[in-house]
Amino acid sequence: MNCDDLEKAISLYLYDELTAEERGALEGHVAGCEGCRAKLEESRRLHRVLSECPQPEPTPELLVRSRQALDDALDREQLGWRGLLRGWMWNFGAAPAPRLAAVLTLVLLGFGLGWTLRPRAKSLEPVAPRQTAASFFGTDPGDLRIRHISEVAPDPQSGGVRITLDAERRVTLEGSLDDPRIRQVLVDTMRGYDNPGIRRDTLEALRTHRDNPVVRAALLFAIRHDPNAGMRLEALGTVRGMEPGRDMQEALLGALEHDTNPGVRVAAVNALLQHAAEEGQDETVMPVLVKLAASDQNAYVRFQCQAAVRKMEGNE
């Protein structure tokens, strides 16, 4: 192995992608070549820096959102023209002639059988027990949103049919926000529902109970993690006036340091000022304000941070 070969081999060496023989050759060369030893050390340091750099991990909320969105997309896919077409293509697309003939025969037999059994359809109602139907559907079956049908089993003797399906039903919940179950539904909605309009209405409903610990946590979560900037601003507005605390300060600092929207960052500065006025200053706030007063990419945010620093220094 010469010095030119080594240049390329170093990356593979550090990623453990060399054979034992290649490793031996590289180590042998490095032992006797000062220049290459320095290169290897430099690459090792870069590798360490890259490895220490934290990698993003999907949050449980992201996983839930992704699963919900996929579920809806698959529903649309199943019910749309593409799903129907695929079903047909699957049956007929690559089918050899005998299979196609068999399928067509079955279809014709099906029609014939259906025609033969047609008069029996009248007996469906008396034979199928009313009680079962009522207990299954509860109210109007039109309320049901069918997600998946796993079995349709006709009974030629009775003329009835058994359908096994997964379905959702629209439900209306009414109750006081003092009811923890109602509160939990709202909190879950605010944390994970994908329609921002509904999340906004939910926040509005929760506003009166913002000092409840579960509601408080959901509001602080929204400040940091709601995907909609308008919602993050609303949440920031809602927590102002709430009981100050460490959790709130962390959420506000997080928004100030990481939010991509300058309006949210400005609102976070103001909320932090108010928090400091009520709770007293904390040593972690000032360094962040000083840093962003010099380095935030938005001029107005920098200006607001500078003003906040002056104000906090004046209070000291």
Partner 1 sequence: MVDGACLELVGKTEISRQGEAEAERGLIRRAQRGDRAAFDALVRRYDQEVLRMTLRMVRSEVEAQDLYQEVFLKVYRSLGQFRLEARFSTWLYRVVTNVCFDHLRQQKTRSEVPARETAEGELDYAGTLADDRPGLNPERALQAREISRRLEAALGRLSPRERVVFELKHCQGMRLRAIGEFCGTSEEAAKNSLFRAVQKLREELGDLV
What residue ranges bind partner 1 (CB under 8 A)? 8, 11-12, 15, 17, 42-43, 45-46, 48-59, 62-63, 65-67, 69-71, 73-74, 77-78, 82, 86-87, 90, 147-148, 150, 166, 224-229, 254, 258-261, 284, 287
The CA-CA-CA angle for residues 57, 62, 66, to 5°, reads: 125
Nearest-approach distance from CB 299 to partner 1, in angstroms: 16
The CA-CA-CA angle for residues 245, 246, 250, to 5°, reads: 120
Per this entry, what is the length of the chain?
316
> In the numeric block, which tokens belong to residue 291?
């840093």
Nearest-approach distance from CB 93 to partner 1, in angstroms: 9
Report how far residue 147's alpha carbon sits from residue 74's, in angstroms, rounded to the nearest whole number: 10
Residue closer to partner 1 (CB basis): 67 or 246: 67
CA dihedral over 140, 142, 144, 150, signed as positive or negative:
positive
Residue closer to partner 1 (CB basis): 210 or 224: 224
Residue closer to partner 1 (CB basis): 120 or 224: 224
Nearest-approach distance from CB 43 to partner 1, in angstroms: 8
Nearest-approach distance from CB 229 to partner 1, in angstroms: 5
- Cα separation values, 23 from 20, 48, 75, Å: 5, 19, 53
Residue closer to partner 1 (CB basis): 169 or 258: 258
Residue closer to partner 1 (CB basis): 47 or 210: 47
- CB neighbours of residue 97 within 10 Å: 7
Nearest-approach distance from CB 255 to partner 1, in angstroms: 9
Report how far residue 312's alpha carbon sits from residue 108's, in angstroms, rounded to the nearest whole number: 84
Nearest-approach distance from CB 233 to partner 1, in angstroms: 11
Beta-bridge partner residues of 152: 163
Report how far residue 158's alpha carbon sits from residue 166's, in angstroms, rounded to the nearest whole number: 24
Residue closer to partner 1 (CB basis): 56 or 98: 56
